[in-house]
Amino acid sequence: ETGVTQTPRHLVMGMTNKKSLKCEQHLGHNAMYWYKQSAKKPLELMFVYNFKEQTENNSVPSRFSPECPNSSHLFLHLHTLQPEDSALYLCASSQEPEKLFFGSGTQLSVL
Amino acid sequence: QKEVEQDPGPLSVPEGAIVSLNCTYSNSAFQYFMWYRQYSRKGPELLMYTYSSGNKEDGRFTAQVDKSSKYISLFIRDSQPSDSATYLCAMRSYGQNFVFGPGTRLSVLP
């Protein structure tokens, strides 16, 4: 078990649903990240939070909405997603400027 | 030219072989270098971390960084079927985001 916990592990949702992904890190890190990993594509950075402040929004569509209430928790709120949004969503944390630690991911399927 | 290049494989080797995985990069400002192992549908797991140039060894794994050539390598000795996974290289410069290679898929055949 890593120090970064993601729930749920699997999620199936319709295009009109609203759901949220949750991430919690137990490592005392000061930065948290959301990445998207699609089949046969490199990891895509979506959002970065440093000390709870969003420092990066990598041109992500507004149907993805992040929330970072404190330095240990990160959420990704999803609404009106498209089938092409089906992917593995990974949360990660780091203590700047060093190593990045990932959670196990949420496998999302949009029908 | 992509910022980080990595042969996607797949790479198939027999059990017990020495495996060499490589990445090249273009940004000379990169200082922090990492290798991750990712099993199917799981999150990447940090294997090796190196700051600046040099070698680092951990059990069967050795990471090498050659900043003059902008080239990093991961060697796996006595490879096992459990090493079958996708291996990702990652790097960053201070204050910038991590940049990942596309990953190399490795199969170790019993």
Contact (Cβ atoms closer than 8 angstroms) between residue A7 and residue A74: no
The pLDDT of residue A2:
60
Question: Is the bond into B102 cis (omega within 30 degrees of 0)?
Answer: no
Cα of B98 to nearest chain A Cα, Å: 8
Cα of A13 to nearest chain B Cα, Å: 18
CB contact under 8 Å between A42 and B101, yes or no, is yes
Q: Which residue has the higher pLDDT, A53 or B23?
A: B23
The pLDDT of residue B57:
95
Measured CB to CB, residues of chain A less than 8 Å from chain B are 2, 4, 6, 41-43, 45, 48, 56, 88, 90, 96-105, 107
The pLDDT of residue A39:
83
Judged against a pLDDT cut of 90, whether residue B2 lies above it is answered with no
The pLDDT of residue B1:
66
Judged against a pLDDT cut of 80, whether residue A55 lies above it is answered with no
Tokens of B91: 């790097």
pLDDT tens string B50-73: 988 889 999 999 999 999 999 999
Q: Which residue has the higher pLDDT, B19 or B2?
A: B19
The pLDDT of residue A86:
95
Which residue type is seen at B88? L
Average pLDDT, chain A: 91
Residue A38 phi, psi (nearest 5)? -95, 160
Which positions in chain A touch B34 (Cβ < 8 Å)?
99-100
- Pairing mode, if any, of strands B32-38 and B85-92? antiparallel
Judged against a pLDDT cut of 90, whether residue A96 lies above it is answered with no
CA angle at A105 for the pair A102 and A109, rounded to the nearest 5° = 155
CB contact under 8 Å between B46 and A100, yes or no, is yes
SS3 string, A19-62, reads: EEEEEEECCCCCEEEEEEECCCCCCEEEEEEECCEEEEECCCCC
For chain B, strand residue ranges (E) read 4-6, 11-14, 19-25, 32-38, 45-51, 54-58, 61-66, 71-76, 85-92, 99-100, 104-109
Judged against a pLDDT cut of 80, whether residue B47 lies above it is answered with yes
Tokens of B6: 């990595």
pLDDT tens string A62-75: 999 999 999 899 99
pLDDT tens string B86-97: 999 999 998 888
User: Counting beta carbons within 10 angstroms of the beta carbon of residue A61, is it exposed (0 to 12), middle (13 to 18) or buried (19 or more)?
Assistant: exposed
Q: Which residue has the higher pLDDT, A108 or B53?
A: A108
d(CA A68, CA A47): 11
